[in-house]
Amino acid sequence: MNSESPVAISTQALQRMPYYLQYLKQLQGDGVKLIAAPAIAEALGLNEIQVRKDFAAVSTAKGKPKTGFIVQNLIDNMEEFLGYHNVDDAVLVGVGSLGRALLSYQGFDQCGMHIVAAFDSNGSLIGGEVNRKKILPVTKLSEMCRRMNIHIGIIAVPENQAQMVCDQLVAGGVLAIWNFAPTHLFAPKNILVKNENMAASLALLSKHLKERIESE
């Protein structure tokens, strides 16, 4: 494994990349051409050695002592590394309030994902559209995934329907699932399931506040 990447990269490092990209693009917008690792570390609240390692894992060009890295190069290398250049088609299942928000979000295309259609089981929604994406009946889900060669399935349905939707996405041949339902999903090992569980984040906030307030 990792045949194409000379240096292995951790999951954590991977998820720092979008923060680097956001800041690097901001610098670029301000006309900055060069940037050093310590400056980025400072701006993003990270350790500078960590930044250097992360850059080493994705950068084709080496940094120059006393100078740093070429902003444009880093942006290109990161986007290439993350696969933002070859956009994957996605479908979204569950057109509730969260589903609508995701369908309306403009930034996914720049991150290598394009939502082509939405699915729902509610007959009154079917045939409508949100942000120019048609809402189709969920009964057609796996067939459409296969026909359109969809790679990503986004699950935004209630938790009791999530596993069923997951199964159909897998049957439709998707390779990755982005799960917004607050439940564990079973999927074949070669399918990546990324959970986005608000309750898990809230647990962190709630516990922090409980401790702060109790310690008074």
**Tally of CB atoms within 10 A around 141:** 25
Among the residue ranges 66-74, 120-128, 141-149, 191-199, the one whose residues contact a copy of itself (CB under 8 A) = 191-199
The alpha carbon of 36 is separated from its chain's Cα centroid by a whole number of angstroms, namely 27
Q: Does 37 bind DNA (CB under 7 A)?
A: yes
Binding of a copy of itself at residue 107 (CB under 8 A)? yes
Q: Which stretch binds a copy of itself (CB under 8 A): 68-76, 114-122, 140-148, 151-159?
A: 151-159
The residue within the footprint of DNA, chosen from 17, 24, 27, 55 (CB under 7 A), is 55
Q: Which does 139 bind (CB under 5 to 8 A by kind): a copy of itself, DNA, none?
A: none
The nearest distance, CB 61 to a copy of itself, in angstroms, is: 21
Q: Check residue 203 for interaction with DNA (CB under 7 A).
A: no
Bridge pairing between strands 152-155 and 34-35: unpaired
| Token pair recorded at residue 80 | 């290439």
Q: Is 153 in the site for DNA (CB under 7 A)?
A: no
| Contact status: 53 vs a copy of itself (CB under 8 A) | no
Alpha-helical runs (H) found in the chain: 11-29, 37-44, 48-58, 71-82, 97-104, 141-148, 159-171, 198-214
By CB under 7 A, name the one of 23, 43, 44, 48 that touches DNA.
48
* Ramachandran angles phi, psi of 189, nearest 5°: -60, -30
- Name residue 130's beta-bridge partners: 133
Please answer whether residues 59 and 75 qualify as being in contact, where contact means their C-beta atoms are separated by less than 8 angstroms: no
Task: Name 43's Cβ contacts closer than 8 Å, sequence gap at least 6.
Answer: 23
Nearest C-alpha neighbor of 115 from the set 155, 143, 162, 82: 155
CB of 2 or CB of 86, closer to DNA: 2
Binding of a copy of itself at residue 148 (CB under 8 A)? no
CB 54 within 8 A of CB 17: yes
- Report the interface residues with DNA, using CB under 7 A: 10-13, 36-39, 46-50, 52-53, 55-56, 59, 62-69
- Report the interface residues with a copy of itself, using CB under 8 A: 3-4, 11, 14-19, 21-23, 43-45, 81-84, 86, 88, 97-98, 100-101, 104-105, 107-108, 111-113, 151-152, 159, 175-176, 178, 182-184, 186, 190, 192, 194, 196-215
